[in-house]
A and B are shown apart, each in its own frame.
Chain A
Amino acid sequence: MSEVNRKLAMLAAIWAALILAPLWMPLVGGYTALGTRVMVLGLAAMSVNFLLGFTGVLSFGHAAWFGLGAYGCGLLLKFVALSTPLGLLAGTLLGGVMGGLLGALIVRRRGVYFAMVTIAFGQVFYYIAFQWSSLTGGDDGLRPFYRQPLHLGVATVDILHDSTAFYYFVLVCFAFAVAAMAFILRSPFGRTMLAIRENERRARFLGIPVEMHIWIAFTLSCFFMAFAGSLYALVNNFADPRGLHYSQSGDFVMMAVLGGMRTFWGPLLGAVVFVMLQDYISSITINWQIFIGLFYVACVLFFPRGVLGILRRKATT
């Protein structure tokens, strides 16, 4: 099969699996709400990877923008307006704009230093959410709020009680976000991201203002992340301070690496593997994180290109 045909076949398989998930998931012991959760976490991992895999910049505090999205969405639904779309908008703007502002301060840092500063920023937001109990609910998280029915003009869709309808709502949101990411990566700007990943010095001496381009990529990634976080608030009808914590950032990075960070779809697959392992092992032992950690170490040692990276290599040779 030619390169193009192979790509089309893979795309068709991914979308078919996603669209038909409510049908096949019960057959393999899953349930629709689990599918929704995996998709949202997958979107978050893809957002981390937008920066990590395609610009070569590791942010270890991206959960901050995810969590801010969740709180933005939850706070709007709880205090301001009973509207799901407005909730998504509020969450996405809160996380994205904060990410863009703080990103401007740190784009000159590189490598470990960049990762450290992003952790620090992330923890700042974690402690704010943790301490500001009157607004955020502190340690107990933000509740109660509920995702609201969608008014589509001709019909009203109850996404609160109908888990299949909610799944498809999230799928549509996911599709838009992923299409936007793919679109950007195929553009001239997207190619400058690859250039920076491949060789920063060369990129700079080809006339690319590297800091500015990293900042734009970082900000875009924060917006995608915050969008995923807003969806996550709708999934749970709850916003949790632990969603801002650096350990959550670590989970997202792990998903991206597990799935394959040089691939577009890898992080989604990584999220599937991660959540499945978590679900399965945590039903056996409360120390499930040890096993995920071991699995992760094994993957990095033996399959540094991730699950999708391996599959792709198999297909081309």
Chain B
Amino acid sequence: MSLLRVERVSRHFGSLVAVDGVSLTVEPGELRAVIGPNGAGKTTFFNLISGFFPPTSGKIFLDDRDITAASSHRRVDMGIARTFQITEIFPELTVRENLRIPAEVAQGLRLRPWLARADDERVRARVDELLEMGGLADKADRLVGELPHGDQRSTEIMMALALKPRLLLLDEPTAGMGDRETYDITTLVRSLHRDQKLAIVLIEHDMRVVFHLADRIMVLAEGAVLAEGTPDEIAANERVQEAYLGKAA
């Protein structure tokens, strides 16, 4: 059974067709990259999967359950977590607090007006683990808004992970990063995929990252699927080279 199955979804904004009949299946543990020129509809496609807005047509299934009409927070409950192209964090809270909020949501505590000691300790342990994993332990008590861009990106990814997702959607995780930071994030994503067997869909502009990480690649252009296949197939595809890679490589 596929984890995620997207069937011919489209999204129109007035007369603009941002996503045009795109289908995608993601198997458990798979790392899938979505690439394409600017304006190809990649982020809109993510917004449809994560429930930012509903598709104009088409259906979305998680574990064969129709989630096309489910609210975004319901989708999080079911195991879909995402990051954003432009970092979305809680700037005036510390890194620790930023991670604590999703950790509590994941443990079903979000409506609790108080916290038992055992729950509190479990949450703290989980937050420490995430801080460690994201390389943020030494900055845990700083306000996120005051940290460098790279640390903010890492915090956002760790916030998504705090939800214990089964499907992680990363929207250009290395955008605006230097080589060193890009390397760190790539290493992190690879270990999530290899070691934790997390299914990941990744939008990315950095081709080194894409070809290094992805099991399969989907190429979008003008809202529609231009090509789909393994990194080798995509690299060899003439239409892709023409539309996209030709300019970059």
Contacts and interface: CB of A to CB of B under 8 A. Distances in A.
Contacts of B76: 205-207
A205 B97 contact: no
A205 B88 contact: yes
Contacts of B73: 204-205, 207-210
Interface stretch (A76-84, A129-137, A192-200): A192-200
Interface in B82-122: 82, 84, 88-93, 97, 100-102, 104-106, 109-115
Most A CB within 10 A of own CB, among B106, B110, B114: B110
A191 interface: yes
Contact of A198 (B72, B91, B111): B91
Contacts of B71: 209
8 contacts: A183-B113, A191-B100, A194-B90, A198-B90, A201-B84, A202-B159, A206-B163, A208-B73
Contacts of B114: 183, 187
Nearest to A262: B92
Contacts of A195: 90, 93, 101
A187 B101 CA distance: 10
A24 interface: no
Contacts of A202: 84, 88-90, 159
Contacts of B181: none
A216 B111 CA distance: 10
A191 B88 contact: no
A208 B163 CA distance: 11
A192 B101 contact: yes
Contacts of A184: 113
A18 to B, nearest CB: 25
Interface in A110-156: none
3 nearest A-B residue pairs (beta carbon): A207-B76, A198-B90, A202-B88
Contacts of A213: 110
B92 A198 contact: yes
Interface string A172-192: 000000000001100111011
A207 B105 CA distance: 7
Contacts of B110: 188-189, 192, 207-208, 213
A48 B102 CA distance: 27
A204 B93 contact: no
Contact of B97 (A191, A199, A206, A208): A191
B111 A205 contact: no
Given A198-B89, A206-B81, 14 more contacts: A183-B113, A187-B115, A188-B115, A189-B110, A192-B101, A194-B93, A195-B93, A195-B101, A198-B93, A205-B52, A205-B73, A205-B76, A206-B105, A206-B159
B222 interface: no
A233 to B, nearest CB: 28
B184 interface: no
B50 interface: yes
A208 B89 CA distance: 14
A189 B112 contact: yes
B27 interface: no
Contacts of A189: 110-113
A194 B97 CA distance: 10
A142 B64 CA distance: 63
A191 B104 contact: yes
Contacts of A187: 112-115
Contacts of B82: 205
A207 B91 CA distance: 18
B77 interface: yes
